[in-house]
A and B are shown apart, each in its own frame.
Chain A
Amino acid sequence: QLQLQESGPGLVKPSETLSLTCTVSGDSISRSDYYWDWIRQPPGKELEWIGSIFYTGTTSYNPSLKSRVTMSVDTSKSQFSLRLNSVTAADTAVYYCASQPMAVAKPLDFWGQGTLVTVSS
């Protein structure tokens, strides 16, 4: 089954860019029936969907974050990435990557363990 693993810095300074990578194993990131998503969760708060990407590079972003988010995919490394610029303390959260099959209702069926990113000087 699919396995996903987030990686990246755990501390980012305000106004800088948060960069995370998700490595996919157990199946091909280039499969034509899956999207790849990022979701975040501020400490003690609810989940927030950030965006999704297809292996071709087609993206869909949360309108509230769209101006600051860029997602990309590297099929040769079986990885997809998230960049969030101009971060503030409000971007402090556990960031998850997940897989989204093109099934009925397109659920998020496999998740990484999550990585905490703290925005602080």
Chain B
Amino acid sequence: DIQMTQSPSSRSASVGDRVTITCRASQTIFRYLNWYQQRPGEAPKLLIYAASSLQSGVPSRFSGSGSGTDFTLTISSLQPEDFATYYCQQSYSPARTFGQGTKVDIK
């Protein structure tokens, strides 16, 4: 299995902050990397696919970058509705795997 490791596991931030979350794959996955947001009690929501493509309807303050094994999700200016847990997921291997999640909470 391809292991996905996110850092940090949690991040305290304030409204307006720039937040960066990283995701590392245990082997190259080229750009087969997706990012999801999960608010408490809700299903995950697709934010970014193919490492840097913004899903329709997702605010432009979200952006993704990277390729190979190292990837980044950036929120340029944190909004109140962005306090949530974020997961990366690889879709290079037929056995899909997720990162352990990064919880962004209020400082």
Contact = CB atoms under 8 A, between A and B. Distances in A.
Contacts, number: 65
Interface residues of B, number: 27
13 contacts: A46-B101, A47-B36, A48-B98, A49-B97, A63-B95, A104-B49, A104-B53, A105-B34, A107-B34, A108-B44, A109-B49, A111-B44, A114-B43
Contacts of B45: 111
A105 B94 CA distance: 11
B53 to A, nearest CB: 7
Interface of B: 1, 31-34, 36, 42-46, 49-51, 53, 55, 87, 89, 91, 94-101
Interface of B is mostly: loop
A103 B49 contact: yes
Interface of A: 46-49, 60, 62-64, 96, 103-109, 111-114
Given A106-B91, A108-B44, A109-B49, 16 more contacts: A46-B87, A46-B98, A46-B101, A47-B44, A47-B89, A47-B101, A48-B98, A49-B98, A62-B96, A103-B50, A107-B46, A107-B49, A108-B34, A108-B89, A109-B55, A113-B43
